[in-house]
Chains A and B, each alone.
Chain A
Amino acid sequence: EADIYQTPRYLVIGTGKKITLECSQTMGHDKMYWYQQDPGMELHLIHYSYGVNSTEKGDLSSESTVSRIRTEHFPLTLESARPSHTSQYLCASSLNVGTGNTEAFFGQGTRLTVV
């Protein structure tokens, strides 16, 4: 069992609200990722982090922001939610590049609906 957790699992929220999606891992992994996935579609990387105080934007432009103040925690924030943000958000972590090409461990995902 992978030790990576996302909360909440499901969230329905009104337009304009600020939301934070939580992601925590207890494996001591350096690298963490956020992916966005629409139903039946591929995953798109929106943010990643090499470690504490390191964050980078991914391949898909996103209005969300992330922070990495602690190794185990990688929250994603939307300052003002819009219906176009409705999607599933998947968090993942992996050992750092220097330790070889290890697999990523995924959380259960947060399904966000903005109404």
Chain B
Amino acid sequence: AQSVTQLDSHVSVSEGTPVLLRCNYSSSYSPSLFWYVQHPNKGLQLLLKYTSAATLVKGINGFEAEFKKSETSFHLTKPSAHMSDAAEYFCVVSSSGSARQLTFGSGTQLTVLP
């Protein structure tokens, strides 16, 4: 079995300040982990993925995430928020032993204040 918990349903930051979106997972198998972003009325876009290579993963638009096995975490960060980062972010776990393969977190709505 696998599950994903996004610890914050809403996060608000000021433009130019750091972003931290938290994600914890559980998985019976070696997981792959992903962050997706969804802008209003748009489909989901892959930000970055961890697939058992380097634990610090760099994605698009300046985002990065660190896989910490001991903490079962995969938090998403960005040093400086931009207004265009305002969106819904989903943490996703995928395990080779899971028939459905993908399990989504409940999402974190990021608001960026001017």
Residues of A within 8 A of B (CB): 31, 33, 35, 40-43, 45, 48, 56, 58-59, 90, 92, 94, 97, 100-109, 111
The smallest beta-carbon distance between B110 and chain A, in angstroms, is: 13
CA distance A48 to B107 in the complex (A): 21
Contact (Cβ within 8 A) B107 A94: no
Which interface class (under 10, 10 to 19, 20 to 34, 35 or more) fits B? Answer: 20 to 34
Contacts A43-B90, A58-B100, A97-B96 given; indicate if A103 touches B42 (C-beta within 8 A): no
Residues from chain A with a CB closer than 8 A to the CB of B45 are: 106
B43 / chain A contacts, CB cutoff of 8 Å: 90, 106-109
Q: In the bound complex, do residue B31 and residue A101 qualify as a contact, i.e. CB atoms below 8 Å apart?
A: yes
B residues bordering A, Cβ < 8 Å? 31-32, 34, 36, 41-46, 49, 51, 88, 90, 92, 94-96, 99-102, 104-107, 109
Bound state CA distance, A40 and B89, in angstroms?
11
Minimum CB–CB distance from B19 to chain A (whole Å) comes to 19
In the complex, what residues of B have CB within 8 A of residue A97's CB?
A: 96, 101
Task: With a 10 A CB-CB cut-off, give which of B46, B90, B104 has the most chain A CB atoms.
Answer: B104
B49 CB contacts on chain A under 8 angstroms: 103
Contact of A45 among B31, B42, B100, B107 (CB under 8 A): B100
For A31, what are the chain B residues with a Cβ–Cβ distance below 8 Å?
101
Interchain CB contact under 8 A, B105 and A42: yes
